[in-house]
Amino acid sequence: MSNGRAISSSAEPDIGSTSIVKDFLALIKIGIVNSNLITTFTGLFLAFQFTGKSFIHNLDLLLYALFGSGLIIAGSAALNNLIDRDIDPVMSRTKTRPTVTGRFKAPAVLALALAFILIGEVMLFAASTAAGLWGLAGVFSYVVLYSMWSKRKHVSNTIVGSISGAIPPLIGWTAVEPSLGMGAWALFLIMFAWQPPHFYALAMRRTEEYRAAGIPMLPVVKGFKRTKKSILAWVLVLFPLPFLLAELGIGFIVLGTVLNIGWLYLALKGFKAKDDLKWATSMFIYSLNYMTILFVAMIIFSIFI
């Protein structure tokens, strides 16, 4: 995700417009938007495949679901930046966000965020009532339960935040099939269980920044040893979940299990690691590859069911 930066007035004529684009993309957290759209599309595509409905004849649902989801995620991310503008200056990762530099003023960010969420919800409700309601649940869980409540108060903030991160595939699914089957809940559970080890690894790399900002992330409050144990536990939780998608065939189950074994191997290596931050970086990178491979595989295997 690109972070914006404050620029001098003398540089404005050359890079001003470019910086505005970068600041806007940083404001809406374009990286988070894109990654969540992948899981939204996966939920939507699997719903088509599992229900036997025509993908080509329902392209309107695809557009409503993806654009609607993208807008509410972008709007929620902008609200998160607005809420965190007092602590973001402390962290090097966030200190150049446009809500910190003053590039985008608070009233404008609030108006933009609410407009995005409103338009996005209209599009989701156009797909189905269930998709619209799950969209609202996603906004509420991210903005209120995570950003406004748990992030600064509870060490369980990562788990609370995982709720919103697991909702996009449900939005995609219910845009096609309002009733949630086992496949939909499998996607939710995989996304929910994947996030704690992913974000704990990131938090280990940023422990001192979170400590300075007063954010009670697990490595800050409990230390690295406890964080490694929690990462291991969540990786183990992932092991049975590919079996919930047995309709995708034995090939998918084998692939999911191999990915889980690889992550488990890395997690166990952490207890003997001499460089905790280097290990955390490898865990973080593996988690990104894990999710990309797994969700792309879901789409591919679903074509052949």
Q: Which two tokens stand for residue 90?
A: 């402390």
Counting Cβ atoms within 10 Å, is residue 214 exposed (0-12), middle (13-18) or buried (19+)? exposed
pTM of the predicted structure, to 2 decimals: 0.91
Could you tell me where the DSSP H helices lie in 56-181? 59-83, 98-101, 106-127, 129-139, 157-166, 168-176
In this prediction, residue 102 carries a pLDDT of 87
CB 158 within 8 A of CB 202: no
Nearest residue to 195 via CA among 222, 172, 218: 218
Q: Identify the pLDDT of residue 90.
A: 87
Burial-class residue 83 by CB neighbours within 10 Å (0-12, 13-18, 19+): middle
Is CATH 3.40.50.800 correct for 1-180?
no
Averaged pLDDT, groups of 10, the chain, 305 residues long: 30 50 93 96 96 91 98 98 92 86 92 98 98 98 97 96 98 96 96 98 96 96 98 98 97 98 98 97 98 97 91
Q: 46: burial class by Cβ within 10 Å (0-12, 13-18, 19+)?
A: buried
Report phi then psi at 161, rounded to 5.
Answer: -65, -25
pLDDT of residue 18: 55
Q: Can you read off the two tokens belonging to residue 12?
A: 């404005």
Q: Which distant-in-sequence residues (6+ apart) come within 8 Å of 100 by Cβ?
A: 85, 88, 89, 94
- Tell me: the pLDDT tens digits for 244-295? 999 999 999 999 999 999 999 999 999 999 999 999 999 999 999 999 999 9
Q: What is the DSSP letter of 104?
A: S
Angle at 89 between CA 79 and CA 100, to 5 degrees: 50
